[in-house]
Structure 1
């Protein structure tokens, strides 16, 4: 489908499209306009044909992995071998060879459990008998050394909610869902909440791993866990899993997503949400839904997340309609989707259009972090849809911070929150200290389609460099204390958090000082420390002698 800039017809306005009063009418109008100018809009995708698994491609990637291994570039070798595994034809000798190559990388870095799993996979996938000697020798050595493996944790134990909310399955009893004409649905504190208190622990409805090699070849496409020995979907070269349990969970949506992946479509939260939701509706049938409890694992809650449709541009509508038409076309022509679900083409288009709009507003980036002294490095792993966290409104100096344990999202108070106060997040880190108001206003409208009315925007707070300094000497002593404790190998995170939380409580209302902003940042970064970590692919074993 064409974009609005490529169409020569008179300008279409959002108001004209919204006046149609129906998503399907909007889609049909835009589809008709596109077909008028580009009647073969799907031809380019189809001409490329299915991007099937290919042993020739897998062999090239395996050779690249072997080259990187010889050069001791272990992470690059691991990524190349995993990509080779994803491309190798199911059950082929090439798949066995790719697993065998990756097992050597894992062995040399001391990941013996993962190495043994890959050796088993290699042997089950026609690994050449004449080459099996070295593989079996590696297996014997790995079995001997496996007890010495000292694999670092990707994250610590997931925090627990001490007082669950009877009306919100993932939240504490400190909050409730409120609604008004100004803020829409939002989250409000029902009692005072102390800094650091856990507000919610939420699993995503669906996730989509990022497109980069260090994202899609190092993290499970179902749970986003860090995994150095992923295994692939037997049909497509896109989906990779850390366990058979995750592969089974993914079957809720991947059964038809797989058909699209074979045309090199990227993973989409919107499509996954629809496929999982429709599968659940078929499974559950006419079973009654308990609407008194807000659940993160239910499609109805995802479907009700905001779209901000009335504020969208014509380009947004074109892109949403484009997705709806393309996915419907390919699912109809190359899968059994419509026979299996009984859903009509019109209904699928409506759902795809709706979820394109609501996932663009509500997707949350899943991150991992690395703390070095007082600085924190952030890497995005992928995106997730979270029905409860999606209800928190934006604030450019938010009172809630988010951390991740795998794909599990944990919300904690970034400061003291009073009873009746709205709980807020800073969307995509568009905070007042780093971004001037004009930049925040543009980006928030561009990405989320609202005008921010938080205190920082209303009072036009200056960026960090222009804030008053605050008690610098007192802050420097505080920083020295925090740095000293962070460098201590016997660091007690709870005690350190308690110390920083006390300092964060000293924050005054109104425009903060540089010191107050920094204390809040340090506190929030410390809350993230037990969550997903940026780990180096380093040696993780204590060498044991080999006895024969």
Structure 2
């Protein structure tokens, strides 16, 4: 794939490109320039052809899994066997053997129900007859122990909205969507909101799992639930799911054509998933009562809401415009040549490029990182699981001392108030954690423009609040007593007790410049509430 530096022309500026008005004219111009400098634009990707599932590759991972199992390194064994399952050819003996190997790992770690699922899958996939007796013996042992399996919850139950908003499907009635003086949308409180109160509960429109083994091979690529016995897509080596339900849902909405791209080693892309799902959704919902878009009701699961998310295209550099156009042309090429996309969708090639170009910008601008956390002391550990697009949550503006924070339950996002919010006040997140206490204003300004193309005018920026080390200390003695109380409660697993104490402290915050104690108490408060969400657990 070309890099922007290979085709940069000093005579072309982003203003000149944007003056072409239509996206397709911008794309055509950049594509022509790319082809001029590199006529075989897709050659590098196409050289090896489709990379199909391979029993030979699966055997390599299975051997690694067996080695790790002998060494009692069960976590690495689990990952290796799951990789073997992902690479094994559908319905093959190798797939059965990979399931059988993973079942043994799950048995050793006390996941008897998951073990039984994998044994059943092994038997359904041509597991060798001469090894079957040993597998059936393991099945009997797992059945005897299944009732004793310890309950391990990845997250607590998703809470409910006490007062749902009739005009915003995912939100509380205490907020509304308004437009600012420049026409941009943002979320404003219509009533006083107390610290800890749930503002919205929203499922993602699409998700893209991370590329690390601990992300790809431990979480469902559709719902993001932690799962130790994922099942593969029959066609590609990339997608893995927690259940037939998730696998079938992904296939129906977008993976049918994404699968063709995955076989060329494309990573899962939010922009591609969004376009494929959106077009499928439009085709399915035409004419269905209650599905037509008129702008009066905001629905998080509807494509029109995703299309309207901000792109900031007019502020992008030539490099950004090129990367978007290049990706759109490459995806269009592969869908045209290697899939049945155009035979199943009534859309022109130009329109597809325009949608890919558009969603390249609005997914990179609006994506959120889905996390899991672990709190066993005053500090908290965070691991990223995936990236996701949320229609309503994307409307919240940035503030360097945000008053809203996210908690993730699987892929579902719970937005809670991180301090009291007055009626009429904007509800704001802190993007990419660029908060005033950790990053000087100059750094924040640079990074926020780099990633989001805006200049922040929040109170911390306007008044140039100092970073943490330069803040007033606050009541350190009371804070130390609180820390001791928190650490004692955490050792006793009494989250709810200490949360009540911290919540009361947060509700006492003033609107003045915070002290060191205020910043720390707010951080602890958010971390304690995140304990109900996705957890980092030991296998």
TM-score, structure 1 length as denominator?
Answer: 0.96
Aligned-residue offset at 1:459: 1.5
Query: Which residue of 1 is the match for residue 100 of structure 2?
Result: 100
1:364–1:385 Cα contact (<8 Å) kept = yes
Query: Which residue of 1 is the match for residue 29 of structure 2?
Result: 29
Deviations 1:422-461 (A, max 9, x none): 0000011111111111221111111111111111111111
Matches within 5 A, 1:80-159: 80-159=80-159
SS in 1 for 2:101: helix
> In structure 2, what is the Cα distance between the partners aligned to 1:400 and 1:149?
38
Is 2:256 aligned against 1:269? Answer: no
> In structure 2, what is the Cα distance between the partners aligned to 1:43 and 1:150?
52
RMSD (CA atoms): 1.1
> In structure 1, what is the Cα distance between the partners aligned to 2:100 and 2:456?
54
> In structure 2, what is the Cα distance between the partners aligned to 1:8 and 1:85?
43
1:270–1:352 Cα contact (<8 Å) kept = yes
Query: Which residue of 1 is the match for residue 300 of structure 2?
Result: 296
> In structure 1, what is the Cα distance between the partners aligned to 2:536 and 2:364?
26
1:328–1:349 Cα contact (<8 Å) kept = yes
Query: Which residue of 1 is the match for residue 50 of structure 2?
Result: 50
Query: Which residue of 1 is the match for residue 506 of structure 2?
Result: 504
Query: Which residue of 2 is the match for residue 542 of structure 1?
Result: none
SS in 1 for 2:408: strand
1:111–1:151 Cα contact (<8 Å) kept = no
467-476 vs 171-180, which moves further: 467-476
CA shift in 2, pair 1:359/1:8, >3 Å: closer
CA shift in 2, pair 1:183/1:469, >3 Å: farther
> In structure 2, what is the Cα distance between the partners aligned to 1:508 and 1:10?
52
> In structure 2, what is the Cα distance between the partners aligned to 1:311 and 1:286?
37
Matches within 5 A, 1:72-83: 72-83=72-83
2:293–2:304 Cα contact (<8 Å) kept = no
Matches within 5 A, 1:93-492: 93-182=93-182, 184-251=184-251, 252-287=253-288, 288-489=292-493, 491=494
> In structure 2, what is the Cα distance between the partners aligned to 1:479 and 1:10?
57
> In structure 2, what is the Cα distance between the partners aligned to 1:524 and 1:243?
32
2:521 to 508, 519, 535: 519
Deviations 1:378-410 (A, max 9, x none): 000001100000000001110001000000000
> In structure 2, what is the Cα distance between the partners aligned to 1:331 and 1:529?
42
Unpaired stretches in structure 1, ≥5 consecutive residues:
538-548
> In structure 1, what is the Cα distance between the partners aligned to 2:244 and 2:149?
23
Aligned-residue offset at 1:228: 0.1
Aligned-residue offset at 1:510: 2.6
SS in 1 for 2:170: coil
Query: Which residue of 1 is the match for residue 70 of structure 2?
Result: 70
Deviations 1:190-233 (A, max 9, x none): 00000000000000001111000000000000000000000000
> In structure 1, what is the Cα distance between the partners aligned to 2:505 and 2:8?
61
Unpaired stretches in structure 2, ≥5 consecutive residues:
none
> In structure 2, what is the Cα distance between the partners aligned to 1:194 and 1:182?
29
2:54–2:88 Cα contact (<8 Å) kept = yes
1:106–1:115 Cα contact (<8 Å) kept = yes
358-367 vs 243-252, which moves further: 243-252
Aligned-residue offset at 1:159: 1.2
TM-score, structure 2 length as denominator?
Answer: 0.98
> In structure 2, what is the Cα distance between the partners aligned to 1:352 and 1:365?
21
